[in-house]
Chains A and B, each alone.
Chain A
């Protein structure tokens, strides 16, 4: 297994300060490891990958790895990624966002990127809270949870990022957890290979801001919670509904083939050129 550490060091930027800035036990580090393993297995060159991130704890993720990286404004990671992809469709563009970044500030960009079906990979790290700014409730904070801005409990209902992506029309939607790290790198690998907009929602832990305030324990207890409550999609289909009440499904939720934006755009350009040539 020592190869795992070796290959992670191959992709890290060693001139950045290590250990990284995240709290002890933060799931972001595990996601970074899974992403590196997935990319390494695919055998892409470092220069073929573009890693784009927004703002938040997850926004620090591309800083530590030696790909082409973009650390953009809050919620606009997908818009920058759209630009990169349209300018050079050969690049593999991977977008890292947090739950607030993707669904609140960048909510519009997210649904429209999914609808457009650009060939991008979006990894959304869902930790149920705005961790970096001090624990304000986010669109994925569960109903009744405590947060800095919900001291008498959250009265809003959370939405499921994966289901939102399915409805918005993403080509592939998967959900993983940081506890199931081996499965996570397989899901990320599949998402990168998928032609079309692919979303991987990663159920992560923020024990510092969310876990502590809601008495869910530390990193270990929150990972244990993921272990106890995650059910594979295949298994969930056979289980009765009452058993699934407090569970969530992991695995590939949707995998469908849809026309890709860059290819459709190329066709339009060619058609327009042919028409112009005919008019002359």
Chain B
């Protein structure tokens, strides 16, 4: 039970951060850097992990072997992308998915699934 509450809290935090981010003004990167200091990891390319649930059988390989822990197994036994921002686009989940149900793609300006 303890694990579940942690997961839920994490998901909630995730949702909140996602809702907040589009509201933020894009801001000049230079200004942002001056405020928060350089963040080399965040200036890298960003990726989106799309899981096609129609083909997914919930084997858990993607969640178990993701080197950045972007994917977690949900309560219903299907994988959920909990931390897409941590994804480095290595593609491990994509080539190891036995059901061809995952695709990792570079994030577009307005990511698919983001709320307006």
Interface residues of A (CB under 8 A from B): 1-2, 4-6, 8-9, 12, 18-20, 22-30, 33-34, 37, 178-179, 181-182, 218-220, 223-224
What's the least CB distance linking A166 to chain B, in Å?
A: 28
CB closest chain-A residue, reference B89: A1
- What is the CA–CA distance of A33 and B56 in the complex, to the nearest angstrom? 15
Whether, in the assembled complex, B98 has its beta carbon less than 8 Å from a beta carbon of chain A, the answer is: yes
What's the least CB distance linking A100 to chain B, in Å?
A: 20
- Residue among A1, A33, A220 making CB contact with B61, cutoff 8 Å: A220
- Residue among B54, B99, B104 making CB contact with A29, cutoff 8 Å: B99
B91-108: CB near A (< 8 Å → 1, else 0) gives: 100111111111111100
**B105 proximity list for chain A (CB < 8 A):** 1-2
Q: Indicate whether A28 sits within 8 Å of B103 (C-beta atoms), given known contacts A18-B55, A219-B61.
A: no
The interface centre, meaning the residue of B99, B100, B102 with most chain A CB atoms within 10 A of its CB, is B100
Q: Indicate whether A5 sits within 8 Å of B94 (C-beta atoms), given known contacts A20-B99, A29-B100, A33-B100.
A: yes
What's the least CB distance linking A41 to chain B, in Å?
A: 13
- What is the CA–CA distance of A174 and B2 in the complex, to the nearest angstrom? 46
- Residue among A5, A27, A179, A224 making CB contact with B103, cutoff 8 Å: A5
What's the least CB distance linking A24 to chain B, in Å?
A: 4
What's the least CB distance linking A61 to chain B, in Å?
A: 12
- In the complex, given contacts A29-B97, A33-B95, what are 5 additional A-B residue pairs having Cβ atoms less than 8 angstroms apart? A4-B91, A19-B57, A22-B98, A25-B60, A30-B97
- Residue among B54, B58, B96, B100 making CB contact with A8, cutoff 8 Å: B100
- What is the CA–CA distance of A5 and B104 in the complex, to the nearest angstrom? 9
What's the least CB distance linking A195 to chain B, in Å?
A: 28
CB closest chain-B residue, reference A12: B100
**A9 proximity list for chain B (CB < 8 A):** 100
**B99 proximity list for chain A (CB < 8 A):** 19-20, 24, 29
CB closest chain-A residue, reference B101: A19
What's the least CB distance linking B87 to chain A, in Å?
A: 10
The interface centre, meaning the residue of A12, A29, A33 with most chain B CB atoms within 10 A of its CB, is A29
- Residue among B47, B55, B90, B102 making CB contact with A19, cutoff 8 Å: B55
Assess the B60–A220 pair: CB atoms within 8 A: yes
Assess the B95–A182 pair: CB atoms within 8 A: yes
Assess the A29–B91 pair: CB atoms within 8 A: no
The 10 closest A-B pairs by CB, nearest first: A29-B98, A25-B59, A24-B57, A1-B91, A2-B105, A24-B59, A5-B103, A220-B64, A1-B104, A19-B55
